[in-house]
Structures are given as C-alpha cells and as structure tokens.
A and B are shown apart, each in its own frame.
Chain A
Amino acid sequence: QKEVEQNSGPLSVPEGAIASLNCTYSDRGSQSFFWYRQYSGKSPELIMSIYSNGDKEDGRFTAQLNKASQYVSLLIRDSQPSDSATYLCAVIIQGGKLIFGQGTELSVKP
C-alpha cells in the first residue's frame, strides 16, 4: 500500500511567522510531488509542484524535496490569516494516480 503521511495538526502560528509543514511518502519510485491547499468544503487547490531534490520557491512558499529520505516539506513565510486551511501533500504513483496525505490543518492567528 503506497502511503503519504502528514501530521494532522492543528498547527498554529502567529501572523507573520513561518509555518513548516512536513510529509513523508513510501513509494521510492515516485517522481512528482505536490502541495495543495483545501479550505473547508472546497476542492484541493494547487500551491506548488516539485520534481527534483532541493528547494523550489514561489512567492511566500518554498517546497523542499529529499528523495533519499522520502521527505517533502512546505514552508510558508510571513503567514497570513488567509493561509488558514488544510494543506495536503500528494504524490503521483503509477498511472497518474495521485495519493494524498490526510492533510495538516494550519491556523494563523492575527
């Protein structure tokens, strides 16, 4: 069974702080990794994709990938109350099948 594991949280940070979200995956053959944001009752919304080891930055978001450790993380700098949501780590395995973690609930306090 291919798995993606995340801390469910909730993770609470003050406004302006850095939020750090972590994820591990079990399939060593995975090549594509994604972070989605999901507000309550809504669909997953893509934040970042990452395919190579190292860091990838997009605005306030930085994704980090370490394939040797089977570890993906997402850093959110200057966190805002509007960032409060559930963050889903997802990994593509064979056939384009996207496997999701259970999500980490982030709360940014003003």
Chain B
Amino acid sequence: EPEVTQTPSHQVTQMGQEVILRCVPISNHLYFYWYRQILGQKVEFLVSFYNNEISEKSEIFDDQFSVERPDGSNFTLKIRSTKLEDSAMYFCASSVQGSTDTQYFGPGTRLTVL
C-alpha cells in the first residue's frame, strides 16, 4: 500500500541553524501539507501546497518557514533560523484532491532545537 515517507525521523539542531525536513508524498496525490505537533498539544496545520504554490498557510507559518517541491517526488519544509519553540513533531500529509479529501500522514520528523 502506498504511503507517505519522511526523512529524517529525528533531527537535532542548534538554535539559529537552518533545517530542511523532507517528505515523499504518495505518488498520485496532488495536494501536500505540513502539520506540527508540540509535545502534549494538538496537531496544528502549517501549510498546504498545490500546483507548485502555497494554497493556505497558518499564522504559525511565518517568514522563517518555506516549502518547496524541488523535483517530481520530494516536498520539503525549511526552517531558516530555528528557535527553541520550533521543537515538535512535523508531519507531512498528502491527498488526491484538496478541499474535502482524506489526508494521509507520514510517520513524522521529530525536531529538537537545543
């Protein structure tokens, strides 16, 4: 069964460093998403992406964040200058269609900012 994959599973970085989290969505899916979950808190929407453009973004997704689909399979989330409060699980998700369709989640990347 096709699934969303994410690398790395765990990333440790120093405050102020740049990190790139990588995702490979399910191959026939057209819509891609990033979510994050701070320990003990809700899963929160960050951004949705379709046709090489951001469709929606939350207030969390500020200028420190960017997303890119650098090739036909990868979807990346970059955090330019990490803060302590960026420590969280980051989940990539994808769906066939956008506005109503089921989103399938990858296993997540645990980001630890020291």
Q: Does A43 contact B (CB under 8 A)?
A: yes
Q: Which of B41, B44, B98, B108 contacts A43 (CB 8 A)?
A: B108
> B-facing mask of A36-54, CB < 8 A → 1, else 0?
1000011111100101000
Which residue among A36, A51, A94, A96 has the maximum number of chain B CB atoms within 10 Å of its CB? A96
Residues A45 and B100 in contact, CB atoms below 8 Å apart: no
Q: For the complex formed, measure the closest distance between the CB of A9 and the CB atoms of chain B, giving whole angstroms.
A: 14
Within 86-113 of B, Cβ neighbours of A (below 8 Å) are at 89, 91, 93, 95, 98-108
Q: Which residues of A contact B82 (CB under 8 A)?
A: none
**Contact in complex: A97, B45 (CB < 8 Å):** yes
- List the interface of chain A (C-beta within 8 A of B): 31-32, 34, 36, 41-46, 49, 51, 88, 90, 92, 94-103
